[in-house]
């Protein structure tokens, strides 16, 4: 056990050194010389101080992301190899004769263990965000969100744990297929209730207060044949200076949401472009394409997890204190494999997402026909979030669900040039 623990700590340390070297030493985030002085050059729309802050903040944020992802896997591995998972199952078994209650007790202690040990890293992220004036949230408000996160995730995951282990115990060879089939209505249900049940736990949502702007947005929606009755705004200025807008929910609960920071910082033309972008997602059914892609990946993911769990328990079960896939003790292994497969598949899912975002950008520019407002909105988004215009390749591959700001501004300019030539 000591050998494996020492090896895993050493491996994690080497990984951390590599990430540090890649982000702080190796990576160059400047734009090609041929684009210097263009609207895609951050030096043309950021001050010298903003350029330095965006570089520093983005690098720190990316470093924390890459070192945090495997940190949770490491915690779960320690939970297994030290026998804590085995002990926790024994304690949960003693609390009740009902497996559902045993599962709830076991997962509570597992969640608490990971949350408490991960808290320092989360706190560092919060402090850095506040230091660079991205976060405006007080510590008490931030802690409130952390507590809500814990209980929402615990409630949802407890249901998943109970169902998955019931299936494993009942259908050991095909549990992954039945779990996937049940995940379809469960995922759709979550997406349906999220805007009206989950999101309001964190922020207040209300119809857009600027009725004149809402009429213009709804006019674009009508032009695109979108049956929208309201645009919603959310009071994010209590928590952040960053800008955002998004589409959430499905069916009758689908919503187009604007952060009040976006309303406060961007002018009307820029907001209309962003709204047209969000409507583009609706028109091109990106939400449903995303659901289909997620379900397809989850089918293969659950199948691979089934095979990998069997293989790992067969070879290393004694070391990890796991006797069978049917035991709650094995759940940390399930989470480790799920996390790894999700991370490994993120370049694929991010590539699809970036394609969708580009399509929505093109749709928005064709709807508004205002290239200058579109470019300004992306420049303001970069400034408000202190984001790198041209991030390192690995950051883009593993983190970016949107094209980089350099790419977005560039193809909007090219689109505008083509239109001018045609005219």
Q: Of 64, 54, 150, which is closest to residue 111 (Cα–Cα)? A: 150
Average pLDDT value over all residues in the chain: 90
With 0-12 / 13-18 / 19 or more C-beta atoms within 10 angstroms meaning exposed / middle / buried, residue 23 is buried
What distance separates the 2 farthest-apart alpha carbons in the chain? 78
pLDDT at 420 > cutoff 70: no
pLDDT at 282 > cutoff 90: no
Confidence of residue 206 (pLDDT cuts 50, 70, 90): confident
For 386-404, what is each residue's pLDDT tens digit?
A: 999 999 999 999 999 999 9
Q: Retrieve residue 308's tokens.
A: 């990998």
Q: Retrieve residue 230's tokens.
A: 């309201």
- 72 annotated active-site: no
Binding residue positions for Zn(2+): 277, 281, 357
User: What would the mean pLDDT of 372-386 be, rounded to a whole number?
Assistant: 91
The Cα–Cα gap between 329 and 81 comes to: 11
> What angle in degrees, to the nearest 10, is found between the helix axes of 286-320 and 268-283?
70
- For residue 335, the tally of other CB atoms under 10 A from its CB is 20
- 414 annotated active-site: no
For 91-127, what is each residue's pLDDT tens digit?
A: 998 988 898 999 999 999 999 999 999 999 999 999 9
The Cα–Cα gap between 59 and 73 comes to: 23
- pLDDT for 422: 52
Catalytic one of 278, 327, 370, 407: 278
User: What would the mean pLDDT of 358-382 be, rounded to a whole number?
Assistant: 91
Q: Retrieve residue 142's tokens.
A: 């931030």
The residues that bridge with 302 in the sheet, in sequence order, are none
Q: Of 400, 398, 402, which is closest to residue 354 (Cα–Cα)? A: 402
Confidence of residue 195 (pLDDT cuts 50, 70, 90): confident
Confidence of residue 415 (pLDDT cuts 50, 70, 90): confident
The Cα–Cα gap between 75 and 118 comes to: 9
Q: Of 234, 231, 249, which is closest to residue 204 (Cα–Cα)? A: 234
pLDDT at 418 > cutoff 70: no
Catalytic one of 41, 214, 361, 370: 361
Q: Retrieve residue 195's tokens.
A: 């805007």
- pLDDT for 194: 82
Tell me, what DSSP letter sits at residue 113?
H
With 0-12 / 13-18 / 19 or more C-beta atoms within 10 angstroms meaning exposed / middle / buried, residue 299 is middle
What letters, b where the CB count within 10 A reaches 16 and e where it falls short, cover 248-278?
bbbeeebbbbbbbbbbebbeeebbbbbbbbb
For Cα atoms 202, 364, 268, give the angle at the middle one, nearest 5 degrees.
65
The Cα–Cα gap between 321 and 294 comes to: 32
- pLDDT for 14: 95
For Cα atoms 162, 320, 167, give the angle at the middle one, nearest 5 degrees.
20
- pLDDT for 155: 93
- For residue 337, the tally of other CB atoms under 10 A from its CB is 20
In a 3-state reduction of DSSP, which class is residue 232? strand
- For residue 409, the tally of other CB atoms under 10 A from its CB is 28
C-alpha dist (Å) from residue 185 to 177, 180, 210, 213: 14, 10, 37, 36
Cβ atoms 108, 102 nearer than 8 A: no
For 14-62, what is each residue's pLDDT tens digit?
A: 999 999 999 999 988 888 888 888 888 999 999 999 999 999 999 999 9
Binding residue positions: 277, 281, 357
pLDDT at 167 > cutoff 90: yes
pTM: 0.88
**Half-sphere exposure of 86 toward its Cβ, with a 13 Å CA cutoff?**
13
The Cα–Cα gap between 50 and 67 comes to: 26
Q: Which residues contact 374 (CB under 8 A, 6 or more apart)?
A: 270, 273, 361, 364, 365, 368, 412
């Amino acid at each position: 056990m000591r050998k494996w623990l020492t090896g895993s700590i050493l491996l994690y340390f080497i990984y951390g050194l590599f990430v540090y070297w890649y982000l702080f030493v190796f990576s160059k985030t400047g734009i090609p010389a041929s684009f210097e002085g263009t609207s895609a050059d951050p030096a043309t729309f950021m001050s010298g101080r903003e350029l330095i802050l965006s570089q520093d903040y983005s690098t720190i944020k990316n470093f924390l992301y890459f070192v945090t992802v495997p940190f949770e896997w490491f915690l779960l591995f320690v939970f297994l190899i030290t026998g804590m998972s085995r002990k926790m199952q024994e304690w949960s078994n003693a609390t009740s004769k009902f497996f559902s209650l045993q599962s709830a007790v076991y997962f509570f202690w597992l969640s608490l263990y990971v949350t408490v040990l991960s808290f320092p890293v989360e706190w560092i992220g919060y402090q850095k965000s506040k230091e660079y004036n991205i976060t405006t949230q007080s510590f008490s408000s931030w802690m409130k969100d952390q507590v809500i996160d814990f209980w929402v995730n615990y409630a949802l995951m407890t249901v998943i744990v109970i169902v998955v282990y019931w299936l494993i115990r009942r259908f050991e060879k095909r549990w992954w297929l039945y779990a996937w089939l049940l995940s379809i209505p469960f995922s759709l249900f979550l997406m349906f209730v999220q805007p009206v049940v989950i999101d309001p736990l964190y922020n207040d949502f209300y119809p857009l207060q600027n009725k004149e702007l809402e009429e213009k947005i709804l006019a674009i929606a009508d032009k695109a044949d979108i049956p929208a009755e309201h645009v919603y705004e959310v009071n994010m200025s209590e928590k952040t200076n960053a800008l955002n807008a998004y589409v959430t929910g499905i069916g009758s609960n689908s919503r187009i949401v604007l952060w009040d920071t976006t309303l406060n910082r961007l002018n009307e033309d820029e907001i209309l472009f962003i709204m047209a972008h969000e409507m583009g997602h609706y028109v091109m059914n990106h939400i449903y394409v995303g659901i289909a892609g997620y379900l397809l990946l989850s089918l293969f993911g659950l199948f691979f997890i089934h095979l990998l769990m069997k293989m790992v328990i067969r070879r290393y079960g004694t070391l990890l204190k796991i006797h069978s896939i049917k035991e709650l003790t094995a759940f940390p292994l399930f989470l480790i494999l799920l996390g790894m497969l999700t991370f490994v598949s993120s370049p694929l899912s991010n590539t699809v997402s970036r394609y969708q975002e580009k399509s929505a950008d093109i749709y928005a520019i064709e709807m508004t026909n205002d290239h200058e407002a579109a470019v300004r909105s992306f420049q303001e988004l970069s400034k408000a979030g202190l984001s790198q215009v041209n991030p390192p390749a690995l950051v883009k591959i593993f983190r970016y669900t949107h094209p980089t700001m350099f790419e977005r501004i560039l193809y909007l300019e090219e689109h505008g040039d083509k239109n001018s030539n045609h005219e």
